Amino acid sequence: MNEMTSPGSMITTLKDWETDQEVRWCPGCGDYAILKAVQRTLPQLGADPANTVFVSGIGCSSRFPYYIESYGFHTIHGRAPAFATGIKLANPDLDIWLVTGDGDGLSIGGNHLMHVLRRNVNMQIMLFNNEIYGLTKGQASPTSREGTRSPSTPIGSFDHPAKPAAFALGSGARFVARGFDVSKKLPEVLMAAHAHRGAAFIEIFQNCVVYNKDVFDDFAQPKGAEDRQLWLENGAPMLFAGGTRGIALDREALRLTVVDVADGGWESAGVIVHDVTNRSIAHMLVEMPFGPFPMALGVLYDDPIPTFEEAVIAEREKASAGKEPNLAKLLGTGQTWTVDQSAGHPA
Amino acid sequence: MATQTVEDTGPVAHTAEARPEAVVVRFAGDSGDGMQLTGGQFTLSTALAGNDLATFPDFPAEIRAPQGTLFGVSAFQINFGSHRIDTAGDAPDVLVAMNPAALKTNLAAVKPGGLVIADTGEFTRRNLEKAKYSVNPLEDGSLAKWDVLAFDISAQTIEAVKPFGLGNKDALRCKNMWTLGLAMWMFDRPRGPIHDWLRAKFKGKPELAEANIAALDAGHAYGETAELSGPLHQYHLDPVPTAPGLYRTITGAEAVSLGLVAGAQLTGLPLFFGGYPITPASAILHHLARLKEFGVTTFQAEDEIAAICAAIGASYAGSLGVTSSSGPGIALKGEAMGLAIMTELPLVIVNSQRGGPSTGLPTKTEQSDLYQAVYGRNGDAPLPVIAARSPADVFECAIEAVRIAVQYMTPVMLLTDGYIANAAEPWLVPNPADFAPMPAQFLTEKNAGDELLPYARDAKGARPWIKPGTPGLMHRIGGIEKAAGTGHIDYSPANHQEMTDARRTKVLGVDVPEQAVEVGNTTGKLAVVGWGSTYGPIHQAVLRARAKGRDVSHIHVRHIWPLPANLGELLRGFDKVLVPEMNTGQFKTVLRDQFLVDAQPLTKVSGQPFQIAELEAAIETYFDAIPGDAGGEEIAANLQQLPNPEAGHDDGTTPRDLRLMHDRDN
C-alpha cells in the first residue's frame, strides 16, 4: 500500500555517516542513542550522503546535523520546516531529514510544523521529545507534564502539555509514528518513515539526563516493558503483555478499551487489528492516555497522498505548457506603443 | 534630458482650444466606482498619445469601506504633458468627483480656476450626510473659485446602457467608462484601444463589453455637445519628443518582478520566490506567480518568517532565493536575514516601504525603513542596500541586487515604496541582450587539495556556493559562528573577530559605481541629496531653482549601503547639503555619520510624496540674504495636495479596486 520511494543503492557503513566533529551532548543523553540509530538506518536505506540533507532548528536536538556526514543546515529556532520546504522545492531529489525538539517544533515553531505537515512536503521529521528545554538549562517546555518543577516554574508548571503525535495528526499528517531513544526498534520505525512518500512525523521520546532524567522510565525501562508498550504492526492484532492483553473498540462509547486475552483468543476478546490507513483509530491511538493504557509505539498511521513538491512541479509544468520563456517578449508585453524613428513621436 | 527646464504653467486657461504644456487630472470616487481602472485606461491612452506622464493611485486601506463615506474615497491622479514629467503633479487642473465624499476629500487640492466635474446623481441627501455636508456644495456657492460642471452622470449612464437590459446596479457600474469617455473627448483621444480592451476584458460576456462601450461612447458624445454651452473645453497636448523604440507603461511592482526574472536569467538560476500577503508588496507575488514558464517557483508561505526561510533554503539548494514584504514583515524576517549573512548565501529581499511604525499607514508611502535596512538586525550584520528611484528604475535595481547577491554570496535589500509599487510610468522596453550575462558559479570539487573549505574566500571575499547533491562536498553550515575556512563551529575570540571583519569587509567592498550628479555642477552652493522615490519632485524643484539662477545640484543615491566611494568628497564640494526624505531624517544621519558633513534634513511623513513647490521653497531658503537675490519666500505646503482619506484599520490585502484591475470578470 505504501508507494515506496525508490530504494537507494549506495553501499555505506555506519562509519561513513560519522563526522570528524566532537559530539557535544551531555554524557548519557538520549540523543547519542538516536544518532546511532539514524547512522545505523541510513546504510540500510542505501542512502547517498551527497544526496542527504539534515535540517534542524535550535536546541540540543538541532545540533544533530553536525554529527552526520551528509549535507547539513543548522538553521534558526523553530523554522527548520520552512527551510526544508524551500530546499525540497528547489531540488526535489534531495532526501531530507528534519530534526527538531519539543520546544523548537511545538513552541516557537508550532506554526511551521503544522504547515509542513498539512502541505505534505516529502521528508522525515524527527521530533525529539524530552519534555524540557535542555540547551537553555531546564525550563518547562510545551510538552512538560503539569506540575513540572523547573527554573521558570519553581512551584510546578500548570499549563496543559501538547501531544506531539496528536498535533501532527490534527495538522493533517499522513504518517505518524512513535519510538524512543534506546529502543532497538527505532531503526525499523525510521525505515518505515523513509518509505512513506510525504511528510513522515516521528515522535521520539528522548531522555534528558540532566534536566528531566528518566521521565519516560514508566514505559521505556526494559523491566516490564512489554506490559507498558504496545508496538503496533500493520495487519496484526493490538496485543501487549506477551499477548495476554489487547486493545478493543467499545463500539457503544466509541473509545478504546483494554481487554484481557486468554489462550491467544484475541478475536473472541474483541481485540482490533491494526490498519495503518484507519485515520479514526489513529486519532484514538494518539490520544490514548498512558497509565490506563500502554504507550502506543511504532507506526500509528500511514496513508500516503500526493506530495506538495509534486503538486508544485505539476503546476509549473502545466502553467508553462506551450509557453516560451522569451524575456524580450515578456518585457514588451502589456500596454505598449512604438515611437517612430523618423518622427520622434508615436507612430 | 537632465538639462530640460520646466515652466510652472499655472491654472490651465479654458479657451476653446487650450494648449497647455502639462495637465493634472484626478479621478476620485467611491472605492467601488472603479477609479483605478479608469485611471489605468486613461494612462494608456495618454501614453499612446505620446505624452510623458506620471501617476499616483491613492486608495483606502479598507477593501469595502461603506459606500459614500469619506474614508472610502479612492483616487487616481495623472500628470501628463508635452515635456518631460517627473511627478504626479502638485495640484489638479481637473477633478472628477463621482460623489460628495470624493469632492470633499479632494477639492482643496484643485488649482484655483481649475475645473471640477461632479455627478449630481450621487449628490443625494444621504450621500451628502455621509460626506458630512450640511448643504449641497454644488448649490451653496462654495465652489466659486473653480469652474464647476455638475450634471447627472448616473442618469446619463443608465440611459446609455438601456438597450443592453442590465439591472440598475450593473448599469451604474458602467459609470466609470462614461466618465472615461468624457475625459477621452476632453483630451482628444481615440477610443479604439479602449473598445478593444473592453472586448478582451469581457470576452465571455459580450453584452457587458457592449454596455461599457456604449457608456464610453456616450460620455464622449456628451463632451461634444456640452462644449458649446458650458465650461468644458478640449485640450491639446503635443507629444513629447522621445527616443524611438518600444514603450510600455510599468508599475514598480511589475518592474521588480521583471527585473528579478531578468536577473535569474542572466545568472542562469531558477528563481524561487517566498512571499506572504502584505500591502503594498503582494503585487510582486501576484506578478511572479504568472511567470512560471521562466523557471519561477512562487511559494505563499504561512508567515513572513517562513517566506524568507524557504527562500534561504532554496538558495542553499542552488536557486536564486527571493523574498518580499513591507516594513512590518521585514521586521519579522530580521533573524533569518542574520542567518543568510552568517551562512553567506545569496538572497534578495524586496521592501516596499509604507508608513510606520507597526501597522502604520498600509496604503500610504514613506521611506522610513532605511535604518531598518542598513542597521536593523542583531549583531554586526551588514548587507548591501539598494534603493530604486522610480517604477522603471526598479527593473535595473532588481538586476543589480541579483548581481551583488550572487557574486558576493550575501543577502541584498532592495528598497522601493508604496508610491513606486503602485505608480505607473512609460518605460522604453530594454533589450535583454544589452545586459551582460553574469553566470552563477557552483563549487563542484574540493577547493583545497584533499580538503573542502566551505568558508574559503575569493578575491571579492565571497565563499563558494556548494549545492547539496554535489558528490564529495558534504559539509555543515548554520548560524553558529564559523571557523574561517572550514566552517566548523568555532567560538574562539580571534576567529569571531576575523569572521566579523571578513563579513564587513566583503559588504563594504561591493563594487558600487561612482556617484554622479543628476543636475547641476559637481561643486557649488547647495546639493540636494535624495534617495528612492523622492527623485521626481527633487529633480523638478532643482530644475526650477536653476532656471531662476540658483547654484543648486541634485544628487540621487541608488547604493545606500555601501555608499559610493566618492560620495563624501562630492558632498564636501558643496557649501550646504539638504536631504529631503519621507521620514524623520534617516539618510541625513547616515551621511553625517559616514562623511562628517553637515547634511540638513527636510522631512515629510504625511503619507504623501513631496510636492515640487515644497522642495522649491526649501531650496529658496538657502539663497536668502544673497546680494542680488530675490530672497526665498516661505511657500506654505498644501497638505491637501493629494487625497488623504482617514484609514481606520488594515487587513493587509489588495484594495478592492486594484483587485478589480486584475480580476474583474463580471
Alpha helices in A229-321 (DSSP H): 266-269, 279-287, 308-320
Instruction: Report whether B99 contacts B123 (CB < 8 A).
Output: yes
B150 — alpha (psi -120 to 50), left (phi > 0) or beta?
A: beta
Nearest CA to A217 out of A230, A207, A203 is that of A207
**pLDDT value for A203:** 98
pLDDT band at A341 (very low <50, low <70, confident <90, very high): low
State chain B's mean pLDDT as an integer: 89
**pLDDT value for B258:** 97
Instruction: Report whether A309 contacts A121 (CB < 8 A).
Output: yes
For residue A53, the chain B residues in CB contact (below 8 A) are: 468
Quick one: cell of B358?
507597526
**pLDDT value for B655:** 38
Question: Which has the higher per-residue pLDDT, B638 or A176?
Answer: A176
Question: Which has the higher per-residue pLDDT, A345 or A240?
Answer: A240
For A19, which residue in chain B has the nearest alpha carbon? B475
Instruction: Report whether B347 contacts B340 (CB < 8 A).
Output: yes
Nearest CA to B375 out of B409, B341, B420, B416 is that of B341
The pLDDT tens digits for B339-355 are 999 999 999 999 999 99
**pLDDT value for B224:** 85
Beta carbons within 8 Å of A173's beta carbon, 6+ residues apart: A117, A199, A200, A201, A301
Lowest mean pLDDT among A191-205, B147-161, B370-384: B147-161
Element (H, E) at A118: helix A110-119
For B334, which residue in chain A has the nearest alpha carbon? A76
- Whether A330 sits inside 8 A of B319 (CB atoms) is no
pLDDT band at B229 (very low <50, low <70, confident <90, very high): low
In angstroms, the CA B349 to CA B324 distance is 5
Q: What is the DSSP letter of B282?
A: H
For B473, which residue in chain A has the nearest alpha carbon? A50
- Whether B468 sits inside 8 A of A336 (CB atoms) is no
For residue A323, the chain B residues in CB contact (below 8 A) are: 293
Q: Give residue limits of the domains in chain A.
A: 14-215
Q: What is the DSSP letter of B250?
A: E
pLDDT at A263 over 80: yes
The C-alpha of B43 sits at a distance from chain A's nearest C-alpha, in angstroms, of 10
pLDDT band at B226 (very low <50, low <70, confident <90, very high): confident
Q: Is B341 on the interface with A (CB under 8 A)?
A: no
Across the range A230-237, mean pLDDT stands at 98
The pLDDT tens digits for B479-488 are 999 999 999 9
The pLDDT tens digits for B17-31 are 567 889 999 999 998
Q: What percent of chain A has pLDDT over 90?
A: 93
In angstroms, the CA B274 to CA B440 distance is 20
pLDDT at B8 over 50: no
Question: Which has the higher per-residue pLDDT, A20 or B60?
Answer: A20
In angstroms, the CA B609 to CA B353 distance is 13
Q: Look up the CATH superfamily of A14-215.
A: Thiamin diphosphate (ThDP)-binding fold, Pyr/PP domains (3.40.50.970)
Question: Which has the higher per-residue pLDDT, B631 or B84?
Answer: B84
- Whether A331 sits inside 8 A of B258 (CB atoms) is yes
The pLDDT tens digits for A125-148 are 999 999 999 999 999 999 999 999
Beta carbons within 8 Å of B297's beta carbon, 6+ residues apart: A89, A90, A312, A316, B270, B271, B272, B273, B314, B319
The pLDDT tens digits for A291-338 are 999 999 999 999 999 999 999 999 999 999 999 999 999 999 877 888
For residue B247, the chain A residues in CB contact (below 8 A) are: 336-339
Quick one: cell of B238?
503635443
**pLDDT value for B31:** 83
Alpha helices in B447-526 (DSSP H): 493-508
Nearest CA to B377 out of B410, B418, B419, B421 is that of B410
In angstroms, the CA B355 to CA A135 distance is 39
The pLDDT tens digits for B101-119 are 999 999 999 999 999 999 9
**Residue A135, number of CB atoms within 10 A of its CB:** 15
Instruction: Report whether B415 contacts B366 (CB < 8 A).
Output: no
**pLDDT value for B636:** 53
Q: Is B146 on the interface with A (CB under 8 A)?
A: no
In angstroms, the CA B656 to CA B63 distance is 5
Backbone φ and ψ of B54, nearest 5°: -145, 145
For B490, which residue in chain A has the nearest alpha carbon? A21
For residue A89, the chain B residues in CB contact (below 8 A) are: 272, 297, 299, 310, 314
- Whether A90 sits inside 8 A of B469 (CB atoms) is no
Q: What percent of chain B has pLDDT over 70?
A: 90
